[in-house]
């Protein structure tokens, strides 16, 4: 049973990894070479460094395509995550520790986004983006993924704040700390596990994002890795060696994060789904 679970979870990923280091001859052999006899990194060289042109590339080399895609993806995901890391604790603090007029109303407006279906938004967004010049920009994608993550993260952080006692914060307030000082000197340590969870999930969400950039970007100036990968698919021919290498590169960051922060993710996921 355990062996079956390991096979189920890992085999497809291992297969793409093996494909990415196989020679073309072995990649296109029948029956497949499950373990490559000659290991080669040509595909990685092609998508990262030397980058020969490829059929269907439209004059852009494979390396240029993937390098740009990776840079864009990293930039968009890192900035979005940073914004979430700044705003999620602030919003969580505001909705759990501060009383102010319209608190419930504002909270419902924010988490209302969760119930808002994404498809109508995306169609309208196309015209909003083109009206204010955000079409095909990284800034547009950053603002967009922030907009769609922050409701979940606010909801989660509010819950997290409410689940930890506020005595330490009250003491800090009595000692003369301002709200901001209390938040950054005291609360932030208490809610750190929650903050790590929301940051990771925001990063994964942004890195994996596909539909919105597919609609809202059209040049290498802003296309993320997920979108540039689709260009290895021609009408009749798919470059499976390049595709495998690019797929591995796209899989590495999220999988590394999952392996590294597993315990926070499990907490974040379950708390996010059942509160």
Q: Which residues in the 208-237 window bind another protein by CB under 8 A?
A: 208, 210-211, 214-215, 226, 229-230
What DSSP string runs through 3-24?
Answer: HHHHHHHHHHHHHHHHHHTB-H
Minimum CB distance to another protein, residue 138 (Å):
15
Q: Decide if 44 contacts 23 (C-beta within 8 A).
A: no
Closest separation between CB of residue 212 and another protein, Å?
Answer: 10
What's the alpha-carbon Rg for the chain, to the nearest Å?
Answer: 23
Give the nearer residue to another protein in terms of CB position, either 51 or 151. Answer: 151
Helix 262-273 vs helix 192-208: angle between axes, to the nearest 10 degrees? 90
Structure token digits, residue 34 = 């499950």
Q: Is 165 in the site for another protein (CB under 8 A)?
A: no
Burial class (CB in 10 A: 0-12, 13-18, 19+), 243: buried
Q: Which is nearer to another protein, 50 or 211 (CB)?
A: 211
CB 250 within 8 A of CB 225: yes
Question: What's the closest the beta carbon of residue 251 comes to another protein, in angstroms?
Answer: 5
Locate 165 and state its tokens. Answer: 């006692």
For residues 224 and 73, is the Cβ–Cβ distance under 8 A?
Answer: yes
Stretch that binds another protein, among 46-54, 59-67, 145-153, 189-197 (CB under 8 A): 145-153
CB of 163 to another protein, least distance (A): 10
- What is the rounded distance in angstroms from the CA atom of residue 75 to the CA atom of residue 70? 8
Q: Which stretch binds another protein (CB under 8 A): 49-57, 59-67, 187-195, 252-260?
A: 252-260
Find where tokens 């979005």 sit: 80
Sole window of 52-60, 105-113, 164-172, 187-195 interacting with another protein (rule: CB under 8 A): 105-113
**Contact between 133 and another protein (CB under 8 A)?**
no
The Cα 143–Cα 210 span in angstroms is 15
Q: Which helix (DSSP H) or strand (DSSP E) does residue 108 occupy? A: helix 103-115
Question: Interface with another protein includes 50 (CB under 8 A)?
Answer: no
Of 48 and 143, which has the nearer Cβ to another protein?
Answer: 143
* The one segment of 36-44, 48-56, 190-198, 266-274 that binds another protein by CB under 8 A: 266-274
Query: Binding of another protein at residue 203 (CB under 8 A)?
Result: no
Cβ count within 10 A of residue 145: 25
Of 50-58, 59-67, 88-96, 186-194, the window that binds another protein (rule: CB under 8 A) is: 88-96
28 belongs to the binding site for another protein (CB under 8 A): yes
Q: How far is the CB of 207 from another protein (least distance, A)?
A: 7
Whole-angstrom distance, CA of residue 152 vs CA of residue 269: 11
Q: Which member of 23, 48, 64, 179 binds another protein (CB under 8 A)?
A: 179
Q: Could you tell me the two tokens for 179?
A: 């709200």
Q: According to CB under 8 A, which one of 40, 60, 106, 190 is a site residue for another protein?
A: 106
């Amino acid at each position: 049973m355990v062996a079956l679970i390991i096979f189920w979870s890992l085999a497809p990923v291992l297969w793409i990894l093996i494909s990415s280091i196989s020679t073309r001859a072995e990649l296109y052999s029948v029956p497949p070479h499950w373990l490559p006899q000659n290991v080669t990194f040509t595909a990685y060289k092609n998508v990262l460094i030397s980058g020969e042109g490829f059929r269907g590339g439209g004059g852009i080399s494979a390396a240029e395509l993937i390098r740009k895609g990776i840079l864009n993806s990293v930039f968009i995901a890192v900035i979005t995550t940073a914004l979430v890391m700044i705003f999620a604790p602030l919003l969580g603090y505001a909705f759990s520790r501060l009383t102010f007029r319209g608190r419930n109303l504002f909270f419902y407006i924010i988490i209302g986004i969760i119930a808002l279906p994404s498809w109508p938004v995306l169609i309208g967004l196309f015209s909003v983006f083109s009206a204010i010049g955000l079409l095909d920009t990284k800034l547009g994608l950053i603002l967009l993924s922030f907009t769609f993550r922050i409701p979940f993260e606010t909801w989660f952080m509010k819950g997290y704040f409410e689940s930890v006692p506020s005595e330490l914060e009250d003491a800090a307030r009595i000692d003369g700390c301002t709200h901001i000082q209390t938040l950054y000197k005291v609360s932030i340590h208490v809610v750190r596990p929650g903050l790590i969870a929301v940051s990771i999930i925001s990063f994964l969400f942004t890195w994996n994002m596909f539909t919105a950039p597919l609609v809202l970007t059209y040049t290498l100036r802003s296309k993320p890795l997920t979108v540039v990968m689709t260009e290895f698919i021609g009408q009749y021919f798919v470059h499976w060696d390049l595709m495998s290498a690019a797929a591995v590169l796209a899989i590495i960051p999220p999988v590394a994060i999952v392996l590294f922060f597993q315990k926070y993710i499990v907490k974040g996921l379950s708390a996010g789904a059942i509160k």
